[in-house]
């Protein structure tokens, strides 16, 4: 019988019965104690701490993100074991840097923390992946790459997720991307219909088929150069 | 036999006293009657409309009353493609392939605003109406259409099927419009038609 | 994986025309009371043949929309699964940056369309946090009713389609009959069946009409009978148990690390429920249990969701009993429109109406991530405001997106036919996954 022990959320939390927050103030709510612990542990890498609508935001140095997340995940006084969300924000003001945002939850302590890393404009859009710490970051990072073009260093399989792999128009959620796309409607439709639905196998999938070894040499060459199987 | 038509369009002569065991009718009338009442739908359900389609197929609205209880999830055994839901560009080649796989005669119902026109998704990802990809016979408005609306659309399609002529081969032809003919719409005109108009121009601006 | 025993009812009250019991068990133990299910035996090494590539979807009735799975098979056993999504990517988050907060509510309907009214509530709560608004007591209770009704609706679709995937058609019809009743209730309230747009920032689109609570009470009274009926047909059914037990097991640690939430996480034995742990809408004052599984397989997910249906009825009962009188919308001219009678007769009200509709309410600079317990799991709306009437960023945290990401882990080593059961047990909605 493989029965699991039931894991109780909030097992280490001081309050046994959390309550609905009422009349949350804009900037004056108390900060999450983890923010102070982070400042003590990584003094220089924590840029600043804000509390907005009761949620603590920690702005951190992009270079230290992975180290800090690993500490938050493993340290017995923090135990942020649940990565709720990972996304990015680009502001309308072109001067404001792009932010990568992680929403972390500590299930044992019932805490919520928002980590932000700012990537200055002009810098390459790259940041460390937290795939090794949280497996849930897998698709979230791929989606973030697909929509914003942020490359996550160390992600094992950083491909486009929502748009197709040969999508040519760019990264849709960037502010310089028009709502209706860069190309005209007829061009978008022409490009979409030019896709062969049966050719949507990635190289990885084609290596599964044993028949790959029996393909003609020229076709294997073309496939290995990244071309998709055609009709 | 259950065939009834107004007296002036009498297509069936069946007088049991004088003629035993046979009936005379127009061939295409009989064929269309059979086709219209046993349409096998191919539900291409993508989004919200698919839920309303499921509600239509369930017992409260009971699509079986119209000879459509046999959902054909394989396009090769289907008569009607019911496109229920929005169709993004990534799905466009797939719906066209499904349409090509369906055998003749075939019809298409575009269910809902998104499938018909793109609806509220006037952005980079969504095809602005599946009639830019495949021919559509009946458009059902609504977001999503009520089951009654879909049933009304199906009845309209049945009317259309009943009025087809076997001799008219043109209805079954699939052709790419010749660029020199009037049927051909150049891409620039399509883009012009696809531009926002009226109040929706404001809605493509981001802030404030 | 270890052997697991699940109690199965072998005898039925009815006999068929030949006098035989109507239901036949798959395997019985000595006492004839239980069916034992073992994982499929691994393929003998000398029988290893060529691996096969199978493409499932995007147009497949069992993928609940337009999911596409590419499966590598060794015989009938899945060796590797590569999911492809994005076939329903409609740019929700992009279009949200071009719309005012009240307008975005129309998009939240269409994103997880099984839980549309619950999404409206979640978005409105997030936007109210961003505006710094506290809603009225009556509105809170009405929103709880809306959330739990939509949880029942979503779980009923899950139940019906899960049954169809496994091969049972009747529960689908039963589930959809009860859904029609909820449809009628919601239609009386907000005027639409599926795409409700029921909330506004600061309140609801409409108060409930006269006599509406009678309909709700009638539903609360009769709905458990349907649940009992489905329970009798499925829970101890030998075929049902045989098709679901021991599939797609996730341990608690794995489930947390893969970011699962909702019934998926609770079936694995983690009792994380946003309603209990990060409560909203005064959920802590309602008396309800959070069902938790102990095996983390498909059968436990079924049990957890089924028990959630019963708990939702309990919450509905309590909410119906405590619904207070009073206004639904807050009295705040920043976000709430003036009454229509005034807007058509008084100049100031007309200007107020015009400015609120055309320019839209403006929240202060800030951001908020508001998570609710949707039927699929933790649903979060993350909004960033720069002080204008349209958000800079509107992010949806889709629970079934994160849940689906674990499918390669869950289906590995199982049979091809079990992929369908595991996929159905995740309760995916492609509109939410692809957005």
Closest approach of chain B CAs to the CA of A88, in angstroms? Answer: 18
User: Which residue among B60, B71, B120 sits closest to C177, beta carbon to beta carbon?
Assistant: B60
Q: What are the tens digits of pLDDT across the range B50-78?
A: 889 888 888 888 888 888 878 888 888 88
Contacts with C273 from chain A: Cβ below 8 Å: 9
**In three state form, how does the secondary structure of A98-128 look?**
EEEEEEEEECCCCEEEEEEEEECCCCCCEEE
Q: Which of A16-30, A67-81, C104-118 has the lowest mean pLDDT?
A: A16-30
The answer to whether the Cβ–Cβ distance between A82 and C271 falls below 8 Å is no
Work out the number of other CB atoms within 10 angstroms of the CB of residue A74.
12
Q: Classify domain B8-166 at the CATH topology level.
A: Rossmann fold (3.40.50)
Q: Which CATH class, in words, describes the domain spanning C98-332+365-434?
A: mainly alpha
* C84 CB within 8 Å of a chain B CB: no
User: Which residue among B52, B94, B123 sits closest to C91, beta carbon to beta carbon?
Assistant: B123
What is the ipTM metric for this complex? 0.85
Which sequence spans correspond to the domains of chain C? 4-84, 98-332+365-434
Q: Residue written as tokens 């690390």?
A: C257
Sign of the CA dihedral running B58, B69, B45, C417: positive
| Predicted confidence (pLDDT) at residue A211 exceeds the cutoff of 70 | no
pLDDT value for C139: 92
Task: List, in order of start, the domains of chain A with CATH numbers.
Answer: 26-126 (3.30.460.80)
| Predicted confidence (pLDDT) at residue A231 exceeds the cutoff of 50 | no
Cα A160–Cα A163–Cα A168 angle in degrees, nearest 5: 90
Contacts with C101 from chain B: Cβ below 8 Å: none
Question: Is the Cβ–Cβ distance between C23 and C12 less than 8 Å?
Answer: yes
Cα separation, B70 vs B57, whole angstroms: 10
Closest approach of chain A CAs to the CA of C426, in angstroms? Answer: 15
pLDDT value for A100: 93
Question: Is the Cβ–Cβ distance between A46 and A59 less than 8 Å?
Answer: yes
Q: Residue written as tokens 């400015």?
A: C355
pLDDT value for B9: 58
pLDDT value for A5: 81
Q: Which of A107-111, A144-148, A206-210, C95-99 has the lowest mean pLDDT?
A: A206-210
pLDDT value for B18: 64
119-178 in B: which are within 8 Å (CB) of A? 122-125, 127-128, 132-133
DSSP reduced 3-state for C79:
strand
Most confident option among A60-74, A186-200, B189-203 = A60-74
Cα separation, A185 vs B189, whole angstroms: 11
pLDDT value for B28: 85
| Pair of tokens at residue A152 | 């996550």
Q: Residue written as tokens 């959920």?
A: C283
The answer to whether the Cβ–Cβ distance between B126 and C90 falls below 8 Å is yes
* C114 CB within 8 Å of a chain B CB: yes
The answer to whether the Cβ–Cβ distance between A23 and C278 falls below 8 Å is no
Per cent of chain B over pLDDT 70 is 76
Work out the number of other CB atoms within 10 angstroms of the CB of residue A110.
19
Which sequence spans correspond to the domains of chain B? 8-166
Question: B26 versus B206: which is more confidently predicted?
Answer: B26
pLDDT value for B13: 63
Q: What share of chain C is helix, strand, coil (3-state, %, to 5)?
A: 45, 15, 40
The answer to whether the Cβ–Cβ distance between C402 and A139 falls below 8 Å is yes
Cα separation, A94 vs C369, whole angstroms: 24
Q: What is the pLDDT along chain C (435 residues), one digit of tens a residue?
A: 444 556 655 444 455 555 544 444 444 444 444 454 454 455 455 455 677 778 887 888 777 778 888 888 887 888 888 888 888 898 899 988 888 899 899 999 888 888 999 999 999 999 999 998 889 999 999 999 999 999 999 999 999 999 988 888 888 888 888 899 999 999 999 988 888 889 999 888 888 999 899 999 999 999 999 898 888 888 888 888 888 888 888 889 889 999 899 999 999 988 898 988 889 988 989 998 899 988 888 888 999 999 999 999 999 999 999 999 988 988 888 888 888 888 889 898 899 888 888 888 889 999 999 999 999 999 999 999 988 889 999 999 999 999 999 999 888 888 888 899 999 898 888 888 988
User: Which residue among A172, A180, A189 sits closest to B92, beta carbon to beta carbon?
Assistant: A189
- Counting as contact any 3 or more CB pairs under 8 A, the partners of B are A, C
Contacts with A210 from chain C: Cβ below 8 Å: 50-51
In order of B129, B187, C295, C299, C408, the CA distances from C269 in angstroms are 46, 57, 7, 13, 20
What lies within 8 Å, CB to CB, of C152 at 6+ separation is: C178, C182, C223, C309, C312, C313
Per cent of chain A over pLDDT 70 is 84
| Pair of tokens at residue A156 | 């094992």
Alpha-helical regions (H) of C132-167: 137-166
DSSP reduced 3-state for C50:
coil
């Amino acid at each position: 019988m493989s029965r699991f022990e039931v894991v109780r959320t909030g097992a280490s939390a001081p309050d046994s019965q959390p309550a609905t927050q009422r009349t949350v103030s804009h900037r004056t709510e108390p900060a999450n104690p983890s923010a102070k612990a982070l400042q003590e542990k990584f003094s220089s890498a924590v840029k600043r701490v804000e509390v907005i609508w009761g949620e603590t935001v920690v702005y951190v140095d992009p270079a230290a993100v992975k180290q800090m997340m690993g500490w938050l995940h493993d340290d017995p006084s923090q135990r942020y074991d649940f990565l709720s969300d990972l996304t990015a924000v680009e502001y309308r003001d072109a001067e404001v840097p792009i932010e990568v945002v992680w929403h972390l939850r500590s299930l044992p302590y019932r805490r919520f923390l928002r980590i932000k890393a700012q990537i200055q404009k002009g810098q390459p859009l790259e940041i460390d992946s937290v795939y090794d710490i949280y497996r849930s970051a897998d698709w979230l990072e791929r989606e973030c790459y697909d929509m914003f073009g942020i490359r996550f260093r160390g992600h094992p399989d950083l491909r486009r997720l929502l748009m197709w792999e040969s999508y040519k128009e760019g990264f849709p959620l960037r502010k310089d991307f028009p709502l209706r796309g860069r190309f005209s409607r007829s061009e978008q439709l022409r490009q979409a219909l030019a896709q062969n639905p049966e050719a949507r196998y990635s190289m990885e999938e084609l290596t599964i088929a044993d028949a790959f070894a029996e393909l003609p040499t020229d076709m294997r060459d073309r496939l290995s150069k990244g071309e998709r199987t055609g009709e | 036999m259950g065939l009834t038509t107004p007296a002036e369009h009498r297509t069936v002569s069946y007088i049991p006293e004088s003629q035993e065991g046979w009936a005379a009718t127009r061939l295409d009338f009989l064929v269309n009657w059979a086709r219209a009442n046993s349409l096998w739908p191919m539900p291409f359900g993508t989004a919200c409309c698919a839920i309303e389609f499921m509600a239509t197929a369930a017992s409260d609205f009971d699509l079986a009353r119209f000879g459509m209880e046999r959902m054909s999830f394989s396009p090769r055994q289907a008569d009607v493609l019911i496109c229920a839901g929005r169709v993004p560009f990534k799905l466009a080649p797939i719906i066209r392939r499904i349409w090509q796989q369906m055998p003749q005669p075939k019809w298409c119902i575009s269910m809902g605003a998104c499938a018909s026109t793109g609806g509220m998704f006037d952005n980079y990802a969504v095809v602005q109406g599946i009639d830019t990809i495949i021919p559509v016979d009946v458009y059902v408005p609504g977001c999503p259409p009520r089951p009654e609306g879909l049933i009304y659309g199906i009845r309209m399609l049945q009317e259309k099927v009943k009025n087809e002529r076997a001799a008219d081969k043109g209805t079954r032809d699939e052709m790419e419009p010749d660029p020199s003919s009037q049927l051909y719409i150049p891409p620039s005109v399509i883009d012009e038609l696809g531009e926002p108009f009226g109040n929706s121009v404001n809605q493509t601006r981001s802030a404030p | 994986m270890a052997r697991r025993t699940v109690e199965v009812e072998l005898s039925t009250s009815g006999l068929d025309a030949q006098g035989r019991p109507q239901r036949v068990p798959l395997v019985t133990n000595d006492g004839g009371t239980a069916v034992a299910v073992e994982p499929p035996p691994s393929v003998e090494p000398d029988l290893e043949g060529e691996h096969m590539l199978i493409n499932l979807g995007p147009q497949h009735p069992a993928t609940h929309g337009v999911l596409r799975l590419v499966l590598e098979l060794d015989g009938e056993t899945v060796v590797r699964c590569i999911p492809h999504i994005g076939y329903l990517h409609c740019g929700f988050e992009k279009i949200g940056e071009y719309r005012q907060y009240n307008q975005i509510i129309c998009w939240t309907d269409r994103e997880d369309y099984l839980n549309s009214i619950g999404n409206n509530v979640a978005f409105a709560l997030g936007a109210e946090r961003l505006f710094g608004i506290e809603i009225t007591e009556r509105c809170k209770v009405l929103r709880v009713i809306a959330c739990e009704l939509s949880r029942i609706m979503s779980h009923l679709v899950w139940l019906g389609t899960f049954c169809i995937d496994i091969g049972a058609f009747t529960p689908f019809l039963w589930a959809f009959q009860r859904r029609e009743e909820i449809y009628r209730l919601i239609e009386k309230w907000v005027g639409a069946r599926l795409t409700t747009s029921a909330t506004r920032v600061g309140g609801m689109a409409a108060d409930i009409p006269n006599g509406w609570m009678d309909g709700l009470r009638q539903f609360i009274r009769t709905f458990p009978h349907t649940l009992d009926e489905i329970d009798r047909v499925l829970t101890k059914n030998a075929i049902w148990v045989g098709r679901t037990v021991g599939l797609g097991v996730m341990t608690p640690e794995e489930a947390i690390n893969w970011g699962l939430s909702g019934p998926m996480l609770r079936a694995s034995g983690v009792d994380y429920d946003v309603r209990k742990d990060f409560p909203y809408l005064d959920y802590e004052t309602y008396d309800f249990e959070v069902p938790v599984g102990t095996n983390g397989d498909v059968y436990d997910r079924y049990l957890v969701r089924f028990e959630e249906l019963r708990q939702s009825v309990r919450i509905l009962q309590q909410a119906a009993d405590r619904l207070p009188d009073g206004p639904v919308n807050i009295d705040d001219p920043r976000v709430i429109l003036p009454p229509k009678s005034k807007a058509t007769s008084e100049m100031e009200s007309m200007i107020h109406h015009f400015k609120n509709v055309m320019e839209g309410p403006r929240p202060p600079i800030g951001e908020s991530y508001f998570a609710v317990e949707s039927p699929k799991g933790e649903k979060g709306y993350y909004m960033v405001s720069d002080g204008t009437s349209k958000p800079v960023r509107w992010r949806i945290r889709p629970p079934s997106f994160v849940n689906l990401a674990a499918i390669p882990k869950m289906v590995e080593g199982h049979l091809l036919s079990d992929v369908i059961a595991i996929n159905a047990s995740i309760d995916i909605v492609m509109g939410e996954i692809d957005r």
